[in-house]
A and B are shown apart, each in its own frame.
Chain A
Amino acid sequence: MENSVRFFSGKNIKIESGSMGVLLKITLPDGTVYEDVEPRRYFPISDISRNISIVRLEEDDRGRDKLHEYFIIKDTANLDEDSRKALLTSLDRYYMIPKILDIYDQKNVYGILQWKVLTDRGVFAFDIRDIYSSIKQLNSGKILVIDAYDNRYEIDDVSKLSKRGQKLLLGYL
């Protein structure tokens, strides 16, 4: 059996930003300190604020990345304000899943869907190659969009898009 990983609720854990943007220094309730560790989401799409795994990325002798997992923080809501902020900043740097706030323009050119969208990270244009499998409604109701380069985007709530945006999306759900 693989080594079991410990779960922590998040209470009494202190998280500080480390030397680089993604790296963190974490002090557990028993005083153990982990430096230069990184957070990873177990559910990067369906549940972004819970089950955060704390890992360290190490290089093996051939320069390949090896992941060492230390523990899991069950819920970021249980962290104190500063710790949560440090953790979320790190996660925000690692994960980039822009939230689509509106669809400005859409063209279907020979089966390739070209979208120009407004996201929480700015305006961006991208292409969707396989429209049949690249726009998915998840169980949570969120929409996951995957572009021709495997970049991911999400739409939290279709009803919050403009009327035109909703209409453009309608055919692909």
Chain B
Amino acid sequence: MAEETKKMTFEELLATLPCKNKEVPAKFNDLVKSVMSEGETIYFYVISDVVLGSRYGESFVAVTSEQLVSYDEIREEKLLTFKISDIEKAEVKRMYGNALFRIKTGGKIIELNKCSYSVTENFDNIAQYINDLNEGKDRQDLIEAVREAYEKRQLYCPKCGARLPYKNAPCIKCADKKKILGRILGYVKPHILLLIVALIMAVITTITNLVPPLLTARLVDGTLVNVADLVEGTPEMESRVNELFSIVLFLFIINTFQNIVGAFRGYILRTASERITNSLKTELYTKAQYLPIKYYDKTSTGSVISRINGDTANLNGFIMRISQEVLTQAIQLVGIVVVMVSMNPVLSLLSLLPIPIVVVSAKIFSKFIHPYYYRIWKRGAKINSILADTLPGIKVVKAFTSEEKSINNFTETNKDLISENLKTAKISSIYNSATGLVMMMGSIVIWGLGGYMVLTKASFLGSEALTAGGLVAFINYMWMFYNPVQFFVSLNETFISAFTSAERVFEVLDAEPEEDFGRGNIPEGGIQGKIEFKNVSFSYEKGKRILSNVNFVIEPGEIVGIVGTTGSGKSTVVNLLMRYYDNYEGDIFIDGDNIKNIDLQYYRSSIGYVLQEPLLFKDTVYRNIAHSDPTMPVEDVIYAAQVANAHTFITKLPDSYDTMLGERGVGLSGGERQRISIARAVLKDPSILILDEATSAVDSETESIIQEAIERIINGRTTIMIAHRLSTLKKADKIIVVDEGKIAEMGSHNELMEKRGKYYKLVKIQSLASELGDNGVFEG
């Protein structure tokens, strides 16, 4: 349970005011103060971004303890003031891309300020405050509510004042990079030993990498020099041959050693990498399971999937780069520089000449090429979406003979993709050749000057005279030198990309989960099934009330039908009962306990929920039925299937209960899928059963099979049946008619028919439909 916070006194609350959506320019503050009387306090500011002429400009509204002050720079009378008690109504008219804040006073509507959507909700708060205050509600409560709403919608970083990209977004400027990095590297900790071993191996191979060029130098300068003067069989010849074989053997040993160590290192790294990705993905997926439905209302499931797949892979790549390559590349860089300088400082300095060009051009190129890669990605995604739309929807494509249109669409997008690919390939080729040329020019200069130094035995700045072998080795080192340079040039981009992914991943990990999953009370003696809705009101979005003051009681074991037109609020009643949303007004009780106090996991496990569109998982029929507990005895699963009238058709499937269902239950008819989902609910043996339009998507014959199964399972359980077809409510003890979010009527079928209200009308409409040939009409 949340810890109760001590309520502020009114004076303490006043000290936190005024609330503002962004910094208030001193000019605005002065304007408001100029119309205030003594003892008056400013409560709220809304700084708007649009003026009345629908242009961007300066305007604001301030609410004080006494009045409403409105300023608009293009209005004839720029500053307007109204006594709050004189305002009959304040409201925000939402338009397209903008909104209008207006008030009604003295029977007249006055349009005060305009704003873009970025500020609309602040105006909503002000309007609500004025209306509620004039209705006599408690001023302190109202101010606190507005203050809280403002804080939740913090558009500006409270620390540095920088603009935030969306409500409550973490401030990019203030984000502690070290903290983020620390958090990313936190995933390394459990695998640190593996990574240290891999790192040691990398350091060893990096150092051994520096040896072969020295050996080749020895080969050229010693072993293979002046071979024309050598005579076969002489000790000199023998010594040269021995040396040759020693060097070759040494080269062989080094290469073999490097490859063996490389293979081990590769395996160790892969192990660590897989484990890190796995722990990241599992943590993210686990969190995604416990996020409330309202999170998914605002964040697309696709976006969460891309975080679980793409962003975790990106983070893993970053971890590997940071934990391994930074050190090895640094060692390589320093090692090569030391060896090169010790061989010839002058040539070393000269070989650095192309570096600034390579570094700068790599920076420019990466910025330049990035948009092209994005364009390729976007076109690739478009092709994927065409495929995802048209291939699974091939029946529709054929039915509307739109094959040609689909082909043209695909061909055009593909052409576009090819064109972008070619453009990118052209730019990349030019860049690669150009940098290659610059580096080659560097080596040509070294060949020229180095060759001259070899020939003339000249030395500069006290360096030793260069030998032919030394020159070859030097040029080898020079080429090796460019790799770590390029690595460090691109390191910053790696950081940025990883931090972006980290932010997206941590946003999910840090999101508020469902509050009391596995932490609430478990009622003694289990759930009996008495349901009570007491003054329940709810809106998914502010301003659009879906349920208004809903009250009803369902006794244990009662069968209750909920009817109403589309959008009347029937399913919302179930959404609240399932605790998919907790932010409603009023209370819902089960057996007298507030459902918010019951352990969520236990509570949901006591409810069987059969949806209109049954969701089957890509798994066997058996595991689909035993979804809540795959270790259930086979007898129970088969019994559940029998109760649901599913057993007979399952046994006719090629692999019976082992039949693998495709995505969303492909391969079964709608009725068969529904019967499996009913069997799933039966197996749970729930105290409360909810059937949400369970038979609306099937034909009459299948409906009667399902109906028969339903009648069998509802016995002795509190059952809520949401239905369009009133014929499915034959067995209902009570029918609740919901209309525009309110309970319009409640009673038995006969009572409601006698009343001749909404229910009567619905029955009559369906009877008429029946006469015209439709099926499934209530006969009562």
Contacts and interface: CB of A to CB of B under 8 A. Distances in A.
Contacts of A151: 97, 116-118
Interface in B338-384: 370-372, 374-375, 378, 381
Interface stretch (B498-506, B508-516, B673-681, B711-719): B498-506
A129 interface: yes
A171 to B, nearest CB: 2
Interface stretch (B52-60, B215-223, B322-330, B585-593): B52-60
B113 to A, nearest CB: 13
Given A112-B165, A129-B165, A96 B118 contact: no
Contacts of B116: 96, 149, 151
Interface in A6-28: 20-22
Nearest to A57: B93
Size band of the A side of the interface? 35 or more
A64 B500 CA distance: 41
Given A94-B95, A148-B165, A121 B375 contact: no
Contacts, number: 91
A124 B370 CA distance: 26
Contacts of A22: 95
A9 to B, nearest CB: 25
Contacts of A119: 56
B545 A96 contact: no
> Interface SS of chain B: helix, strand, loop or mixed?
mixed
B8 interface: no
Contacts of A149: 116-118, 166
- Report which residue of A109, A123, A149 has the largest number of chain B beta carbons within 10 angstroms of its beta carbon: A149
A56 interface: no
A152 interface: yes
Nearest to B377: A132
Interface in B43-101: 49-50, 54-57, 95-98
Interface residues of B, number: 37
Nearest to B116: A151
Contact of B54 (A92, A129, A132, A173): A92
Contacts of B371: 170-172
Contacts of A110: 172, 496, 499-500, 503
A109 B55 contact: no
Interface string A153-173: 000000000000000001111
Given A44-B96, A151-B97, A171 B372 contact: yes
Interface in B4-37: none
A134 to B, nearest CB: 11
Interface in A72-103: 92-98
Interface string B116-145: 111000000000000000000000000000
Contacts of A2: none
A21 B117 CA distance: 20
B372 A62 contact: no
A172 B111 contact: no
Interface string A18-62: 001110000000000000000001001000000000000000101
Contact of B97 (A111, A132, A152): A152
A94 B96 CA distance: 6
Contact of B50 (A62, A96, A97, A152): A96
A60 B548 CA distance: 14
> Interface SS of chain A: helix, strand, loop or mixed?
loop
Contact of B55 (A94, A122, A152, A172): A122
B545 to A, nearest CB: 7
A127 interface: yes
A25 B57 CA distance: 30
A90 to B, nearest CB: 11
Given A92-B54, A122-B55, A148-B166, A62 B96 contact: no
A127 B55 CA distance: 18
A121 B375 CA distance: 30
Contact of A20 (B50, B111, B117, B169): B111
Nearest to A111: B500
B22 to A, nearest CB: 12
B424 to A, nearest CB: 12
B165 A96 contact: no
Contacts of A171: 370-372, 374-375
B500 A95 contact: no
Nearest to B108: A19
B165 A93 contact: no
B8 to A, nearest CB: 30
Interface in A110-162: 110-112, 114, 119, 121-127, 129-130, 132, 147-152
B214 to A, nearest CB: 45
A161 to B, nearest CB: 15
B95 A96 contact: yes
A111 to B, nearest CB: 4
Contacts of A98: 56, 97
A63 B445 CA distance: 83
Given A96-B116, A111-B500, A122-B55, A173 B375 contact: yes
Nearest to B155: A149
Contacts of B97: 95-98, 151-152
Contacts of A62: 545, 548, 740
Contacts of B544: 64
Contacts of B118: 126, 147-149, 151
24 contacts: A21-B111, A41-B96, A62-B545, A92-B54, A93-B54, A95-B95, A96-B50, A96-B54, A96-B96, A110-B496, A110-B503, A112-B172, A121-B54, A121-B55, A122-B55, A127-B163, A147-B118, A148-B118, A149-B166, A170-B371, A171-B370, A171-B375, A172-B371, A173-B378
Interface of B: 49-50, 54-57, 95-98, 109, 111, 116-118, 163, 165-166, 169, 172, 303, 370-372, 374-375, 378, 381, 496, 499-500, 503-504, 544-545, 548, 740
- In the A-B complex, the 10 residue pairs with the smallest Cβ-Cβ separation, listed nearest first, are A171-B371, A122-B56, A96-B97, A96-B98, A127-B165, A111-B500, A149-B118, A95-B96, A112-B165, A148-B166
Given A95-B96, A98-B56, 10 more contacts: A22-B95, A62-B548, A96-B96, A96-B97, A97-B97, A111-B503, A114-B163, A129-B166, A151-B118, A171-B371
